[in-house]
Amino acid sequence: MNHEFVLVLDFGGQYNQLIARRVRECGVYCEVKPYSTPLPELKAMNPIGIIFTGGPNSVYLETSPHVDPEIFTWGVPILGICYGCQLMAHSLGGLVSPAQEDTAREYGKTATHYDTSCRLFRGLPEEGISWMSHGDYMAKVPEGFSLVGHTEMCPNAAIADEARGFYGVQYHPEVNHTENGVKMIRNFLYEVCHAKGDWTMEDYCRTAIASIREKVGDGKVLLALSGGVDSSVAAALLAEAVGSQLTCVFVDHGLMRLNEGDEVDAAFSKWDIQFIRVDAETRFLVKLAGVDEPERKRKIIGEEFIRVFEEESQKIGTVDFLAQGTIYPDVIESGSSEAAVIKSHHNVGGLPDFVDFKEIIEPLRMLFKDEVRQLGRQLGLPEYLVSRQPFPGPGLAIRIIGDITKEKADTLRQADFIFRDEIAKAGEDKKLNQYFAVLTNTRSVGVMGDDRTYDYTLALRAVTTADFMTADWARIPYDVLDRISVRIVNEVPGINRIVYDITSKPPATIEWE
Ligand code: XMP
């Protein structure tokens, strides 16, 4: 692919992925590379611009990550963010030192003034909030740089050497808390690097299809389809590219949400592919009978999944390519392609090493989640599949506390469906990152009509989160919760009490098991 390319050089900052996503949102392709990548390798990528990310270290320590100063002689514009800014200052003859308690150490939202004659801030307001998180301070900026942004505490919140195209900001323009932050990144790309913005999903889709065709030739491709967004989009892309050479094995373990299996099935009917749907509900339920320990449930499901997949792939015989829905965050997080392969299959319990294949193919390897969704839309997958919230590989098994039975799974499916339905009707779905029902193992006394009931308690869980590593419980309006509660208790036999989980992560996790 011959796209304009921006290099995001990673110094270990917590927002490195976010920077890359912002650049791509601005229509420019970029990749994140570790700071330790050999310089000739980076140069060969021919970047039109470079962004140094933040990082947890102090540049003046010898052990901290540095970059060969030769990079500053390439004539390529550089934007340094936080640590990246300090690194640029340090490397080009400035002085960075620990901030004193009462001077320039800054954390959080900070009122900032910008010099709008600087290209980075062109067309933006002179004042705005920026998100600071730095304990070091640039005591002296390098020669050639001018001060283009300041806060009350810090005279050099932003620095620029416009002639060389070098810019540094102490704050984080990539996070939402920084007002107009994305516009600053856009200015760097378009005003400074003169990007044209040739990264579109339509174009990506076309090129990806062509390169899959070239790679696969007339070979056979096998994909384990889970029904989640990533494997579904990978399947759609491969279906479009090599159609009849593709076999998708969709193992329905009977612990999916209501209608989910049929929805996945229907979504792929328009392509001429081999679609094998294995109805394995009974065998999974038999294996899970009487098991209440969460980790054992996961293990049993993972292993059984492999067995089913194994049986199906043996029927197919040798395939040339085993396809996987690995996406870019997996690749960045793991730092190596090896680990990414293993991780992408945590969903189905491990890489099926018995499957006879020649090569692995990962068509979404360079895409972020939101790009994967965009690609899915581009390929004509239905919205309910593309915008689907994350769903754990073990499915409802880890949302039924205690032992699992078909009756409990059916009860939970119905209740979960009503929850999702009411959330969507109330327009709350766009505000939540994940929401689902949990069937607790607790029964309590209730009264319905004139009768005493002794039924299960259902818990509702809804969270907002950026990365699923931490999460906040969602403030769903009371009237919406009320409608959900009334409907579930009236419509779902076996449930007579609803509770709402108001714990964040940490200390709780998102799932209950
Ligand atoms: P926790 O419960 O750890 O969940 O806060 C974080 C996110 O991961 C999902 N999750 C899983 N996904 N296989 C998966 O593919 C699993 O075994 C699994 N367990 C949790 C969970 O739904 C949430 O989005």
Task: State whether the beta carbon of 298 lies less than 6 angstroms from ligand 1.
Answer: yes
Per-residue pLDDT, averaged over 334-344, amounts to 36
The helix (run of H) or strand (run of E) holding residue 212 is helix 201-216
Query: Strand 472-473 to strand 451-464: parallel, antiparallel, or no bridges (unpaired)?
Result: antiparallel
pLDDT of residue 464 exceeding 90, the answer is yes
Instruction: Let me know if 82 is a catalytic residue.
Output: yes
Task: State whether the beta carbon of 393 lies less than 6 angstroms from ligand 1.
Answer: yes
Burial of 89 (0-12, 13-18, 19+ CB in 10 A): buried
Task: State whether the beta carbon of 434 lies less than 6 angstroms from ligand 1.
Answer: yes
Instruction: Let me know if 194 is a catalytic residue.
Output: no
Token look-up 């999974």 returns 284
| Cβ atoms of residues 510 and 468 within 8 Å | yes
User: Bridge-partner residues for 8, per DSSP?
Assistant: 32, 51
Task: State whether the beta carbon of 505 lies less than 6 angstroms from ligand 1.
Answer: yes
Query: How far is it, in rounded angstroms, from Cα 168 to Cα 193?
Result: 15
Reported as a single tens digit per residue, the pLDDT across 33-81 is 999 999 999 999 999 999 999 998 999 999 999 999 999 999 999 999 9
Instruction: Read off the pTM.
Output: 0.79
Per-residue pLDDT, averaged over 503-507, amounts to 92
With cut-offs at 50, 70 and 90, classify the pLDDT of residue 103: low
With cut-offs at 50, 70 and 90, classify the pLDDT of residue 104: low
Tell me what pLDDT residue 269 has.
Answer: 87
Query: How far is it, in rounded angstroms, from Cα 381 to Cα 384?
Result: 9
Distance 438 CA to ligand 1 centre (A): 14
With cut-offs at 50, 70 and 90, classify the pLDDT of residue 357: confident
Q: What is the CA radius of gyration of the chain?
A: 26
Task: State whether the beta carbon of 77 lies less than 6 angstroms from ligand 1.
Answer: no
Name the 3-class secondary structure at 464: strand
> Do you find a cis peptide bond into 34, omega within 30 degrees of 0?
no
> How much of the chain exceeds pLDDT 70, in percent?
94
Distance 47 CA to ligand 1 centre (A): 36
The helix (run of H) or strand (run of E) holding residue 111 is strand 106-114
User: Bridge-partner residues for 151, per DSSP?
Assistant: 112
With cut-offs at 50, 70 and 90, classify the pLDDT of residue 328: confident
Instruction: Let me know if 174 is a catalytic residue.
Output: yes
With cut-offs at 50, 70 and 90, classify the pLDDT of residue 467: confident
Distance 473 CA to ligand 1 centre (A): 16
**Of 17-31, 283-297, 300-314, 332-346, minimum mean pLDDT range:** 332-346
Distance 389 CA to ligand 1 centre (A): 11
Length of the chain: 513
